Amino acid sequence: MENTQDGNLGDWFKITVPYGIKYDRTWLMNSIQSHCSVPFTPVDFHYVNHLAQFFVQDASAASALKDINYKIFDEENQKIPIFVNTSAAPYSVSNKLEPEKMEQLKLTISKRYDVSQKTLDLHKLRFDPGTANSSNSGEDLLGHDIIIILNRRNYMTAILQTIKKNIPELLSLNLCKNKLCHLDGLSDIIQIAPTIKTLNLSKNELKSAKELDKIKGLKLEELWLQGNPLCNTFPNQPTYIRTTSLYDGQDLPPPTVTGIVDMDIIKPCKESFKGPETLKNLVFQFLLQYYLIYDSEDRESLLSAYHEEACFSLTVPFNSKDPALSNLCEYLKDNRNMKNLKDSDLRFQLLKHTKCEIVNSLCVFPKTQHDLNSYVVDLWAHTEIMLCFSVSGVFKEVEGKSQGSAHAFTRTFILSSGSNSSMCIMNDILTVGNARTEETQSAFSIPVPTPTFSSLSTLSQEQQEMVQSFSIQSGISLQWSQKCLQDNEWNYIKAAQVFTTLKAQGKIPEEAFKQTS
């Protein structure tokens, strides 16, 4: 943050919050400013080790900050210490760029800014070559003996000041190939450019995922990190996704958190709540389509089934004497059984909040196949704006070291009214345990159907609608959809189970997917 004063020793004060790293910057600063009796402007807010620090250049503000030591309570009702000490001027102030260099930096940034896309490309800024068609070959940073080192706070501060003054609605920032090894100086971007949706930090030198905590206040849709050493600290890509709750972008499709609008899941509408039978069919359709997607290769498509602020938790009934518990190892690390989990911080971390974080977690779980015919569904509450139901059944893992293991599950969904009168998942609670022997034996035993077709015109209106719906959801032709439903006595759930199982086994012939008029 810009300051016009020189800042000699004694003019400045350093404010330190021990263990401040665990607090969101916006929440922490808002809390401090709201409790402080003297308004102040924080300079150079940053995290160092476990500390949060910033500077002020106002003796009265420093005195007022001393007075609120241990006066602020966090979410766990713990008092927050705030220490105030005299200090030299912060680095970004004592080493401010000279006006001529600031003007040249502003010119370079303006050339690299795409006004139509609201994107700023600052990749390899320290070796800025200028523009190829420039009439003045000296119009570049190197030509003016300016080497931008973004690890130094004064340079990052200068760039953020320029963005604040000239690009207030920035949507995308590319900082690729700038040898960034920490993000201390970038933390101010949360206040300066809160509109950013895409941030490219790829091919830098970031070594720890903890660096991302310094920018976690940004509401990003895309974060690019490939080529950083931190990517090598995770045993696999799913672990990386779960840890950062954002996308790497290397081997995954670009994240489109807000772009998935044509959701395959049928979400019940308030206008459909007319009776028990209708509600039952709506719930069945919802579960069918949810688990068809969940058991597919594309769990990301579940994003628009969840509300923006939805919550998800997983519980595994724990019995240390159960030798079969090893089959659930992929679920145990996310187990939020509060009876056994004493660490309040870990309990909070394991509660997945927001739809993006939920679906990222679901994508990490092993690939599965659910036995829809094993389902027991209980619709236990409903109003015009809420639908609450539970489903229990059996599924098996179809890959990984526990491949073939059958598990029992219970899942409780709470759906609430969203946009366009549709219902979105607000709360999702999953309990997973080992299936009993009798459940395992009765699951997944389905014969292969033989295709014999009859005319759709001989079906009732309801049956024709079922055929149409099944064809759309499964991708097979109307004739094959009809046959699958007929062979399963028009039990939609059972027919879907047959289709899902046989498709996974590669037993659905190609001709079934050929649509005929």
CATH number of the CATH domain containing 508? 1.10.8.10
202 shares a domain with 81 = no
CATH number of the CATH domain containing 42? 3.30.70.330
pLDDT, tens digit (0-9, with 9 covering 90-100), for 20-47: 888 888 889 999 999 999 999 898 888 8
84 shares a domain with 104 = no
Q: Are 259 and 303 in contact (CB under 8 A)?
A: no
CATH number of the CATH domain containing 170? 3.80.10.10
Domain-located, residue 199? yes
Q: For residue 41, give its domain range.
A: 12-91
Examine the fold and report which residue of 418, 444, 470 is the final residue of a domain before the chain moves on.
Answer: 444
One-letter-per-residue 3-state SS of 71-126: CEECCCCCEECCEEEEECCCHHHHCCCCHHHHHHHHHHHHHHEECCCCEEECCCHH
Q: Which amino acid is at 376?
A: V
293 shares a domain with 413 = yes
User: In which band, very low, low, confident or very high, does the pLDDT at 138 lie, cut at 50, 70 and 90?
Assistant: very low
Q: Are 91 and 44 in contact (CB under 8 A)?
A: yes
- Residue 351 to residue 312: CA distance in whole angstroms: 6
Q: Are 104 and 157 in contact (CB under 8 A)?
A: no
Report the Cα 71 to chain-centroid distance in Å.
33
Question: What is the percent of the chain with per-residue pLDDT over 70, rounded to a whole number?
Answer: 75
pLDDT, tens digit (0-9, with 9 covering 90-100), for 291-340: 878 887 778 878 878 988 899 999 887 654 555 566 787 788 778 776 66
Q: Mean pLDDT in the chain?
A: 76
Domain-located, residue 263? no
Say yes or no to pLDDT of 418 above 70.
no
Dihedral pair phi/psi, residue 491, rounded to 5°: -90, 105
Say yes or no to pLDDT of 139 above 80.
no
pTM for the structure as a whole = 0.41
pLDDT, tens digit (0-9, with 9 covering 90-100), for 106-116: 888 888 899 98
CATH number of the CATH domain containing 296? 3.10.450.50
Domain-located, residue 30? yes
322 shares a domain with 223 = no
Q: Are 24 and 216 in contact (CB under 8 A)?
A: yes
Domain-located, residue 466? yes
Higher pLDDT, 328 or 180: 180
Question: What is the percent of the chain with per-residue pLDDT over 90, rounded to a whole number?
Answer: 16
Domain-located, residue 253? no
pLDDT, tens digit (0-9, with 9 covering 90-100), for 224-274: 888 888 877 655 444 444 444 443 333 333 333 222 223 334 344 333 344
60 shares a domain with 112 = no
Per the structure, how many domains does the chain have?
4
343 shares a domain with 402 = yes
434 shares a domain with 315 = yes
Can you give the pLDDT at residue 17? 92
- Residue 125 to residue 140: CA distance in whole angstroms: 10
113 shares a domain with 210 = yes
One-letter-per-residue 3-state SS of 166-214: HCCCCCEEECCCCCCCCCCHHHHHHHHCCCCCEEECCCCCCCCHHHHHH
Domain-located, residue 87? yes
Pairing mode, if any, of strands 423-434 and 306-315? parallel
Domain-located, residue 425? yes
> 448: how many CB neighbours lie within 10 A of its CB?
11
- Residue 171 to residue 222: CA distance in whole angstroms: 11
pLDDT, tens digit (0-9, with 9 covering 90-100), for 474-499: 778 888 888 888 888 887 767 877 78
Examine the fold and report which residue of 223, 243, 263 is the final residue of a domain before the chain moves on.
Answer: 243
301 shares a domain with 418 = yes
398 shares a domain with 319 = yes
Higher pLDDT, 472 or 261: 472
**Any bridge partners for residue 306, and if so which?**
425
Q: By mean pLDDT, which of 19-28, 123-132, 308-317, 423-432 is the weakest?
A: 123-132
155 shares a domain with 104 = yes
Examine the fold and report which residue of 70, 91, 112 is the final residue of a domain before the chain moves on.
Answer: 91
> 485: how many CB neighbours lie within 10 A of its CB?
24
Q: Which amino acid is at 181?
A: C
- The angle, 0 to 180 degrees and rounded to 10, between the axes of the packed helices 276-294 and 492-504 is 10
Q: Can you tell me the mean pLDDT for 211-217?
A: 81
Can you give the pLDDT at residue 247? 36
- Residue 465 to residue 460: CA distance in whole angstroms: 9
Domain-located, residue 222? yes
174 shares a domain with 213 = yes
